[in-house]
């Protein structure tokens, strides 16, 4: 009993707006902004970003942003060692990236897509950014709930030109231009690159899983909420959890939490499942649930919809893909009686039409590639640059890469040229 209380109290404090606001001001007050050396300035910005991620109001955010801008001006583009802030910064392979368009001429640059902020540091650490900028435009993809990190602030400073960025959460459309006028936001999410062709929907009467939860084992995924809910749900239900280790949160940690709630035998746990098995499980499940209160876009939501499986999400969740939940696609949960709500959701699952809604509203990689292409094209034409070739249509799982084999082979040649000229590798081999 005491262990349950500890888990739930810690979670309550973690997501308390009052606690977050107080901790935000405390962290901000402890940052010494009277620093002048480049590395010290970067450390101060990094600490202020920690505070900003806890902010609960635009007022708090803007005050911290203003302090950061003072420090950025003082830094004056002097180099910093990114390895202090990201241990993998010296890695010359940027896995979560892909070439979307080759360099054509001085007036028609290529286009490269980068996701995961920690990997952006590898460009800044290992590459002549000024030279790289002559050949390529960038599309960045913030992946966390709020885009407050050292690299989010400094990348547009060192790049010193426009950067296209889609969103992790709709709120990013307001925050990113405040961080830097170099950001050109695109109304797409990290979850906008799911390929519906990966999924083969199963007729409802043949679905043999009642509820699936696709989530890594991180604490922020809040598996304990499901364990608590299972105590109030029929034991006959088939529940499947699919995920992988997150930091020190292993399969054993998750199972121990389930034992604390007395439900360790009430579900199947699939660790490091293959993509095809994940897609199959989503399609065979009557419902899907995401229990996090704060993360990025949460691709699992959109994957569930294309698998024709409705999704339950908390009403107050700061999760980008919440914008896709409606009466056709799923439900919003209230914090009390989660077990009852999930059971009723399962009982009514046949009433939803998530895949049809997702296809009708074109939230897939094909339409997203078209939207991104049009945004880049019109922006560059307005700058009197040329545009004779569109970007490749691409999808993302687990890394971004072009959908069509002809594009993959064609753009792989550009990828090899980048490695030869700049010493960095853009993405894993797309031909594999």
Each residue of 127-152: pLDDT tens digit?
A: 999 999 999 999 999 987 678 999 99
Q: Read off the pLDDT of each residue in 390-403 and give the average, rounded to a whole number.
A: 94
Find residue 110's DSSP bridge partners. Answer: 136
In a domain, 432, yes or no: no
Q: What angle do CA 375, 376, 378 make, to 5 degrees?
A: 65
The rounded distance, in Å, linking the Cα atoms of 152 and 226 is 34
Q: Read off the pLDDT of each residue in 336-342 and give the average, rounded to a whole number.
A: 97
Residues 6+ apart with CB under 8 A from 238: 208, 209, 210, 211, 268
What percent of the chain clears pLDDT 90, i.e. is strictly above it?
A: 95
In a domain, 169, yes or no: yes
Residue 300 token pair:
């699992």
* pLDDT-derived band at 398, boundaries 50, 70, 90: confident
Residue 52 CA from chain centroid, whole number? 18
**364 contacts 355 by C-beta, under 8 angstroms:** no
In a domain, 265, yes or no: yes
Count how many residues are written for the chain. Answer: 432
Residues 6+ apart with CB under 8 A from 287: 210, 211, 212, 309, 310, 311, 312, 342, 345, 346, 349
In a domain, 4, yes or no: no
pLDDT of 397 > 90? The answer is no
Average pLDDT, the chain: 95
Residue 396 token pair:
């993302």
Q: Of 345, 360, 375, which one is at a domain's C-terminal end? A: 360
Same domain, 350 and 374: no
In this structure, the number of other CB atoms found within 10 A of the CB of residue 79 comes to 12
State pLDDT tens for residues 268-325: 999 999 999 999 999 999 999 999 999 989 999 999 999 999 999 999 999 999 999 9
The domain total for the chain is 3
Same domain, 237 and 332: yes
**pTM for this structure?**
0.94
In a domain, 5, yes or no: no
CA atoms within a 13 Å half-sphere pointing along the CA-CB vector of 146: 19
In a domain, 80, yes or no: no
pLDDT for position 186 = 97
Q: Of 315, 342, 360, which one is at a domain's C-terminal end? A: 360
CATH of residue 308: 3.40.50.2000
Q: Phi and psi dihedrals of 219, rounded to 5?
A: -60, -35
217 is in which domain, residue-wise?
Answer: 196-360
The rounded distance, in Å, linking the Cα atoms of 414 and 412 is 5
Residue 213 token pair:
């939860």
* pLDDT-derived band at 89, boundaries 50, 70, 90: very high
In a domain, 181, yes or no: yes
State pLDDT tens for residues 17-68: 999 999 999 999 999 999 999 999 999 999 999 999 999 999 999 999 999 9
pLDDT of 359 > 70? The answer is yes
State pLDDT tens for residues 165-205: 999 999 999 999 999 999 999 999 999 999 999 999 999 99
């Amino acid at each position: 009993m005491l262990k349950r209380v500890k888990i739930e109290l810690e979670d309550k404090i973690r997501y308390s707006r009052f606690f977050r606001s107080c901790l935000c001001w405390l962290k901000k007050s402890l940052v010494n902004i009277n620093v002048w050396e480049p590395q010290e300035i970067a450390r101060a910005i990094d600490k202020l970003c920690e505070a900003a991620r806890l902010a609960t109001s635009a007022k708090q955010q803007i005050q911290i942003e203003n302090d950061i801008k003072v420090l950025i001006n003082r830094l004056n583009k002097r180099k910093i060692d990114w390895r202090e802030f990201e241990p993998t910064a010296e890695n010359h392979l940027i896995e979560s990236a892909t070439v979307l368009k080759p360099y054509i001429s001085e007036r028609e640059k290529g286009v490269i897509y980068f996701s995961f902020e920690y990997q952006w540091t590898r460009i800044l650490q290992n590459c002549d950014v000024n030279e790289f900028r002559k050949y390529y435009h960038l599309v960045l993809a913030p992946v966390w709930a709020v885009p407050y990190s050292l690299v989010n602030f400094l990348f547009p400073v060192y790049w010193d030109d426009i950067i296209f960025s889609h969103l992790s959460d709709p709120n990013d459309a307001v925050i990113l231009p405040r961080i830097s006028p170099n950001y050109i936001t695109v109304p797409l999410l990290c979850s906008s690159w799911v390929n519906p062709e990966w999924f083969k929907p199963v007729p409802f009467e043949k679905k043999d899983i009642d509820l699936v939860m696709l989530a890594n084992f991180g604490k922020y995924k809040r598996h304990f909420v499901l364990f608590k809910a299972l105590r109030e749900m029929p034991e006959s239900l088939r529940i499947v959890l699919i995920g992988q280790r997150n930091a020190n949160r292993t399969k054993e940690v998750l199972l121990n939490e389930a034992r604390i709630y007395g439900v360790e035998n009430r579900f199947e746990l699939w660790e490091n499942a293959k993509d095809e098995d994940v897609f199959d499980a989503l399609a065979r499940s009557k419902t899907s649930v995401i229990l996090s209160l704060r993360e990025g876009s949460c691709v699992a939501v959109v994957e569930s919809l294309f698998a024709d499986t409705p999704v339950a999400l908390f009403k107050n969740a700061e999760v980008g893909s919440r914008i896709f939940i409606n009466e056709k696609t799923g439900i919003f949960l209230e914090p009390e009686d989660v077990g009852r709500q999930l059971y009723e959701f399962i009982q009514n699952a046949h009433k939803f039409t998530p895949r049809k809604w997702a296809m009708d509203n074109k939230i897939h990689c094909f339409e997203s590639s078209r939207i991104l292409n049009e945004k880049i094209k019109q922006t560059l034409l307005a700058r009197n640059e040329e545009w004779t070739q569109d970007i490749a249509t691409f999808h993302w799982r687990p890394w971004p890469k072009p959908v069509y084999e002809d594009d993959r082979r064609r753009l792989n040649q550009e990828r090899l040229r980048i490695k030869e000229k700049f010493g960095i590798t853009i993405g894993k081999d797309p031909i594999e």
